[in-house]
Amino acid sequence: MAAKAVVLHAAMLAATFVGAPAVAQTNDPNLSQKQIDCLNRTTAAGADCEDGAKNGGGKSGAGNAAGGAVFLPALIVDLFPNPPARPTPAPTQPAPPKSPTSTAAPAPPPSGPITPPTGLNLAAPPRAVSGEFVPDEVLVTVAGDAGAVQQIATTLGLQVRSQRQSRLLGTTLVRYGIPDGRPVGVVLAQLAADGRTQRREPNHVYSLQQAAGIVNYAFERIALDSKQASGENVRVAVIDTGIDDANPALKGVIAGQFDAMPNVPIKKRDHGTSVDGLIAGVGALEGMAPGAKIYHARAFEGGKSSMDVILSALDWAAEQDVRIINMSFVGPKNDLLGTACRNARALGMVLVAAAGNNGPKAPYGYPAAFDGVIAVTATDAKDGLMPQANRGAYVFLSAPGVEMVAPSGTGSDVVTGTSFAAAIVSGAIANLIHAAPDRSADEIEKALAATAKDLGPKGRDNDFGYGLLDIKAAAAAKE
């Protein structure tokens, strides 16, 4: 009981992001889920892993970052501007961005001290939560109507901060607030005891993948003729920062926009502008797929977003009937995001994501590490790997992403990062779809893997994946 009191007291005193290794999945069809678990030495794998399984059948997995607490940066305080009322003075605790599609107003802040409910059942031990997350919220899918949503909140002493019907999740997604300082892991375990809750996840925080930053050499390196490149009328969704839609490189490129965090002012437009421009820019800063139609969802500010906001952007993208979704961001594993990606892929969308810029020993980056997502790492003009790129069996493909000129919120800039390598791949895939509209997502993924230029050790490896994108060869590949 004393230990529990210490945990609750610590949660009341400071809002922190909890850092822990993420659990990986991989696109490699030769690895079983047990091998993947062992690859990352997860608790679930335990002592049952043989040496071969732990090594992924001879493949070495990415190292995991050391655990520990990372104090909440001021940036996230700005991103989540409405902290709940506290019974006593305490360090500012952030509240999340408001969902633009909420159908229920947030519950009013408590008027006095909150007593945590007692006698609640724990259906499982308190959950260890990996990665960065909003410290006073959980995301839950609920079977039932608004009455059931509120009953769950009342029973567990939670606040209904937003709820909406998610197309990709196929159910009601509720963002519950934890006003009394209980750890997220404890609340997730308490929610598991209620049969009306289907999935229960932290509201994870994700980061855009831009490294510190010459003519765009990508056309040459991926074997794409700039004079013949075209993604005409191919619909591509981009989930990113706000954009400078007045930039000449984006003239006529943006077919639709959606702001998944309308209550947060736009301060930066560089990252999203660069990604859109590299995919389908026109004029002097031509992208990989001129003529493609970009459906842009703004879901990041100051380089950060939350799971709730990203899911809202993904649902909007799915409603636009896009063929490709570009996700140039990275965060911890989250089952809700995995489900949304799996269902988007089932609808025929090609999912492209940045592998991450957090270094060789970083944990796997998501959504890139989910099955069915093309995880892209970055190479330079000489096909060398970007030193700060993530490594791991989930890395699928390499593409140019080091020191490239791209449009930005201030005109143009030299950019570096797996974010931009992912944009190059999304644009290249738009060329494939333009040339052969009936080509399926599975066929495209297989062609990219089979025709990539092998880099590094022979065969697929943890640094370069299958190798450098060769779009000319992929276009000619036959199933």
Q: What is the pLDDT of residues 33-85, one digit of tens each?
A: 455 455 444 434 444 554 433 333 333 333 333 333 333 232 222 222 333 33
CA distance 156 to 138: 12
- CA 390, 306, 131, 333 torsion-angle sign: negative
Choose the catalytic residue: 240, 270, 276, 461: 240
Strands 133-142 and 293-298: unpaired
Identify the burial level of 314 via C-beta atoms within 10 angstroms of its C-beta, where 0-12 means exposed, 13-18 middle and 19 or more buried.
Answer: buried
Asked if omega into 367 is within 30° of 0 (cis), the reply is yes
3-class state of residue 156 by DSSP: helix
Q: What is the pLDDT of residues 203-254, one digit of tens each?
A: 999 998 876 544 478 999 999 999 999 999 999 999 999 999 999 999 999 9
Do the beta carbons of residue 231 and residue 434 sit within 8 Å?
Answer: yes
The arithmetic mean of pLDDT across residues 429-457, rounded, is: 96
What is the third-level CATH fold of 208-476? Rossmann fold (3.40.50)
> How much of the chain exceeds pLDDT 90, in percent?
68
Establish whether 48 is a catalytic residue: no
Q: With bands split at pLDDT 50, 70 and 90, how would you rate the model's confidence at 172?
A: very high
The tokens for 453 are 């230029």
> In this predicted structure, what is the pLDDT of residue 117?
63
CA distances from 382 to 210, 218, 224, 285, 392 (A): 20, 11, 16, 21, 22
CA distance 263 to 81: 9
Choose the catalytic residue: 270, 419, 434, 470: 419
> In this predicted structure, what is the pLDDT of residue 173?
97
Q: With bands split at pLDDT 50, 70 and 90, how would you rate the model's confidence at 256?
A: very high
The tokens for 339 are 């489900």
Q: Does 313 have pLDDT greater than 90?
A: yes
Establish whether 321 is a catalytic residue: no
Establish whether 328 is a catalytic residue: no
Q: What is the pLDDT of residues 346-405, one digit of tens each?
A: 999 999 999 999 999 999 999 999 999 999 999 999 999 999 999 999 999 999 999 999
Do the beta carbons of residue 218 and residue 288 sit within 8 Å?
Answer: yes
Q: What is the pLDDT of residues 111-157, one digit of tens each?
A: 344 455 656 666 667 878 889 999 999 999 999 999 999 999 999 99
Domains of the chain, residue spans: 208-476
> In this predicted structure, what is the pLDDT of residue 208?
86
CA distance 478 to 47: 44
> In this predicted structure, what is the pLDDT of residue 8?
36
3-class state of residue 397 by DSSP: strand
For 444, the enclosing helix (H) or strand (E) is helix 441-451
> In this predicted structure, what is the pLDDT of residue 130?
87
Q: What is the pLDDT of residues 258-300, one digit of tens each?
A: 999 999 999 999 999 999 999 999 999 999 999 999 999 999 9
CA distance 343 to 337: 10
Do the beta carbons of residue 373 and residue 353 sit within 8 Å?
Answer: yes
Choose the catalytic residue: 271, 274, 328, 461: 271
The tokens for 82 are 């409405």
Q: In the predicted model, what is the mean pLDDT of the chain?
A: 81
Do the beta carbons of residue 279 and residue 305 sit within 8 Å?
Answer: no
> How much of the chain exceeds pLDDT 70, in percent?
73
Identify the burial level of 58 via C-beta atoms within 10 angstroms of its C-beta, where 0-12 means exposed, 13-18 middle and 19 or more buried.
Answer: exposed
